Structure 1
Amino acid sequence: MSVILGAVSKANSSSAEGTPLNIVIVVACLTGASPLATDMYLAAFPAMRSEFGVSSGAVQLTITLFMLGFGVGQYLIGALSDLWGRRGLLLGGTVLAVAGSVLAAVAPTIELLWLARLIQGLGTASGAVLGRAIVADTSRGFRLAKQLSLMMMIQGVLPIVAPVLGSLLAGVIGWRGIMWVIAGYSAILLVFAIFIVPETLPGERRARISVGRAMTAPLDVLRSGPFLCFALGFVTAFGVLFAYISGSSFVLQSVFGLSQTGYGLVFTINALAMVSGSAINARLLGRFTQRQLTIAGTYALVAGCLAATVSGLLYPNLALFVGAVTIASLGVAHVLPNLTSLGLAALPRESQGSGSAVIGTGQALVAASTAPLVQIGGAISPLSVGTVMFCFSLLTVCAVTFGFRSATSAAS
């Protein structure tokens, strides 16, 4: 806890030179609406399957469609924000997120729930893509990495609270009540954003291009070798995390026999690892380079994923599986903020929105494809989840390696 408080204190003391702390907190909470919308109702999946009379895959499709909307929304909103600014799109997107959450809460069929989740993802995307862009507008280098780590710490509280609260509420208000809670969360943050978050991209710094050209601008940033590699490293590392998220409900409850409450408590362990890892990363930045911390995080990521795979193959055991995922989560917490900072630093300031759009879109597309991947071969199991995690971790190693080589070549 002292490490976390120290990291917050350091971020606060440097806020005058970067993004103000109150803005960081609000945009972090807006970004956190995504894990809230995916984690909070996981414990209710078996109940949803029974209510609608559909397969596990049909229920998991509610995550896939949310992430699809989340990805498309980040691309569109990020690209347009370089042209129109951040604030208006942030507020409009949050309104759409509230509307999608309400529609999900009252959906009478699984098909309408799919549509609602798609809308919910489109709106929630505004907080994620513009949160990164808003911070990048006013911070650079290791200070940006510190503030991104602080954002991850704040966001990390939601994955801790969401599954525990969701598992408690699922038996009281059901998954529909949980959707109403998500709608209320987004509505409250909308009010805070109106009064706290200013426009961070003034007119003179906006891109002077047409709307049609803005739609292709995110593709232009892919010409930067360092950005492309670091962005790929980010999305594959996130793929590790989401492989566990998408399969955790069935593995922990159906395979290991945990109750909804037990599932929430185990999920909390992994979320605490994310928060602690982000706090440690923020504290160590300045003492160690972003390169060193990224490589250390990658080692932890691969080690945890390999352990999860071996455990699932040879000796499926709850403690071993959760311990392996916890190690991987510590690695993810070091990798994500540093790769985001390194990637955006490779781009000019007028392309921060497009760069954030590419990162967010890739993140969402990987997440949308991960849910079906963990089902390959039949039922979801510790081995299937661990294998997908390990494959993503190897891709992260490749992306990070080529990213640093490309950055070195570009600097010389």
Structure 2
Amino acid sequence: MSQSSAESHPFRSRLGLSPRLDRVLLIGALGILSAVSPMATDVYLASMPDMSEYFGTTASLVQLTLTTYMIGIALGQFVLGPLSDVLGRHKLMVAGNALFVVASLGIVFAPTIEVVLALRAIQGVAGAAGVVIARAMVSDMTTGRTAAQLYSILALITSLAPVVAPLLGGVIATVAQWQTVFWVLTGFGLLMLACSVLVIPETLPKAMRSQGGMGRIVRNAVTVVKDRWFTLYALTFAFGFGSLFSYVSASSFVIQNVMGYSALAYSVIFAVNAAGAIVTAMLNTRLVKNREPRALLLMGVIGMSATACLNMILVLLGVVGIPTLILLFLMQSCIGFIFGNAVALAQDRAHAHRLSGTGSAVVGMSQFVLGGIVSPLSGLAGDHSAVPMVVTMAACALVALGAVLAARR
């Protein structure tokens, strides 16, 4: 589907309101579906000690609930994305959202930590439906610059939700028991379910679906990954996220233990850096109307690489302080030009093969797998050194730059 055809025959929401209001509601619903599952990753971090005491278990076993969720959301994207190319988008999304509600409610009443571990894995698989299918739906509805605008919004939500979620969880943990967090997630799950049932339509007609069983799903994945440009843009997105997640994983130790700032000051710094990414993502949605996504992506990756490498050099030379914070802010601000454009360009290639769901699955899975890899790497030297964080950030940024440069050749 060309951009012009996609825009001249746009998909409408199920509500059938005026075109402008319909579009706003549809984008808002897709944004909610993209936000809740990533937010569920770590919103309960501040409640972990309470959970450990409640179940009479170790902190490490409670922390394992993070791992099972990450495994679930990665596997869920890998399965549900390609499956939606065969079965359609809407029914899978509704089923995933309903299962997310059941799993979240089950955790509230879980009798043992082992049950929580199992339900967190199920919650991750179910929650993946919102993220991976929402991304595929954008490819069904539009391509080109319009898609880049929408992906800028969805990619920012998906990436920043697990960054902002612990702040919300911290507020809840100060006034309520740990179960309250999962009651809140149950409520968000119901909101997702309402969006998928009442607002979001089926965007993949039967005539456009891929035919075949599990063998076809595997072959679809191979087809997408063998597309050189898709793989390079997917790598750009994944390693850009890796650079960001290195900061997310280690910044609390670096800013508080190494630089000596208080927990409140860290929260302010963290919020300011997140605001930088939000502002540039909003700017990107405007610039992409008149500029090529490839050019904006290159600008963002060059900026991220330059600031990350300069920060690494300064830290290795012993300069840790205000310059470090400024460069972290600039680096995170570059993210707004990277995520949406990289996803849009990768999904354009998947759409060319009529495999948007498969492409979305590969992009999403690579994001969470790389996030899981860089998290421990960023803390290799303990909690009193900034070196592992800045080295990991710079390495990921340089790989992303290499991928985007290779894609331009």
Structures share fold, TM-score greater than 0.5: yes
- In 2, Cα distance between equivalents of 1:43 and 1:258: 19
Q: Which residue of 2 aligns with 1:28?
A: 31
Moved more, 211-220 or 66-75: 211-220
Contact 2:235 2:403 (8 Å CA) reproduced:
yes
Deviation of 1:108 (Å): 5.6
- In 2, Cα distance between equivalents of 1:253 and 1:174: 27
Report the residue type matching 1:368 in the other structure: G
Moved more, 170-179 or 371-380: 371-380
The answer as to 2:180 corresponding to 1:177 is yes
2:246 pairs with one of 243, 246, 255: 243
2:378 pairs with one of 374, 381, 384: 374
The secondary structure found in structure 1 opposite 2:74 is helix
- In 2, Cα distance between equivalents of 1:84 and 1:230: 26
1:209 pairs with one of 208, 212, 216: 212
Deviation of 1:161 (Å): 5.4
Cα-to-partner distance string for 1:281-309 (whole Å, 9 max, x where unaligned): 11111332222111110022113323443
The secondary structure found in structure 1 opposite 2:354 is helix
CA separation of 1:278 and 1:119: change in aligned 2, threshold 3 A: same
Q: Which residue of 2 aligns with 1:286?
A: 289
Q: Which residue of 2 aligns with 1:72?
A: 75
Q: Which residue of 1 aligns with 2:97?
A: 94
- In 2, Cα distance between equivalents of 1:293 and 1:239: 19
How do 1:225-374 and structure 2 match up within 5 A? 225-252=228-255, 262-310=265-313, 312-313=315-316, 314-317=318-321, 319-347=322-350, 348=352, 350-374=354-378
CA separation of 1:379 and 1:58: change in aligned 2, threshold 3 A: farther
- Structure-2-length-normalised TM-score: 0.85
Deviation of 1:263 (Å): 4.4
Report the residue type matching 1:342 in the other structure: L
1:118 pairs with one of 117, 121, 125: 121
Contact 2:257 2:383 (8 Å CA) reproduced:
no
Cα-to-partner distance string for 1:188-228 (whole Å, 9 max, x where unaligned): 22112210000000111111222332244212211111111
Deviation of 1:101 (Å): 2.6
Q: Which residue of 1 aligns with 2:200?
A: 197
CA separation of 1:108 and 1:351: change in aligned 2, threshold 3 A: same
CA separation of 1:149 and 1:133: change in aligned 2, threshold 3 A: same
Q: Which residue of 2 aligns with 1:7?
A: none
Q: Which residue of 2 aligns with 1:385?
A: 389
Deviation of 1:44 (Å): 4.6
- In 2, Cα distance between equivalents of 1:237 and 1:315: 24
Moved more, 227-236 or 21-30: 21-30
CA separation of 1:275 and 1:15: change in aligned 2, threshold 3 A: farther
Q: State the identity as a percent.
A: 31
- In 2, Cα distance between equivalents of 1:401 and 1:244: 24
- In 2, Cα distance between equivalents of 1:199 and 1:149: 22
Contact 2:276 2:329 (8 Å CA) reproduced:
yes
Deviation of 1:126 (Å): 0.7
CA separation of 1:355 and 1:378: change in aligned 2, threshold 3 A: same
Deviation of 1:165 (Å): 2.4
Report the residue type matching 1:242 in the other structure: F
Q: Which residue of 2 aligns with 1:3?
A: none
The secondary structure found in structure 1 opposite 2:68 is helix
Moved more, 157-166 or 382-391: 157-166
The secondary structure found in structure 2 opposite 1:287 is coil
Report the residue type matching 1:371 in the other structure: S
Contact 1:90 1:126 (8 Å CA) reproduced:
yes
2:400 pairs with one of 374, 396, 411: 396
Cα-to-partner distance string for 1:344-403 (whole Å, 9 max, x where unaligned): 212325211111111111112112222222233444743222222221111111111111
CA separation of 1:327 and 1:195: change in aligned 2, threshold 3 A: same
Q: Which residue of 1 aligns with 2:171?
A: 168
Contact 2:131 2:158 (8 Å CA) reproduced:
no
Q: Structure 1, unaligned stretches of length 5 or more?
A: 1-13, 406-412
Report the residue type matching 2:167 in the other structure: V
- Structure-1-length-normalised TM-score: 0.84
- In 2, Cα distance between equivalents of 1:185 and 1:131: 16
- In 2, Cα distance between equivalents of 1:107 and 1:307: 48
Q: Structure 2, unaligned stretches of length 5 or more?
A: 1-6, 13-22
Report the residue type matching 1:391 in the other structure: A
Cα-to-partner distance string for 1:133-153 (whole Å, 9 max, x where unaligned): 001101111111011123345
Q: Which residue of 2 aligns with 1:10?
A: none
- Corresponding pairs, count: 390
Q: Which residue of 2 aligns with 1:4?
A: none
CA separation of 1:238 and 1:171: change in aligned 2, threshold 3 A: same
CA separation of 1:393 and 1:253: change in aligned 2, threshold 3 A: same
CA separation of 1:309 and 1:47: change in aligned 2, threshold 3 A: farther
Moved more, 255-264 or 244-253: 255-264
Cα-to-partner distance string for 1:72-106 (whole Å, 9 max, x where unaligned): 10010001000000011111111222233334444
- In 2, Cα distance between equivalents of 1:359 and 1:38: 18
The answer as to 2:147 corresponding to 1:144 is yes
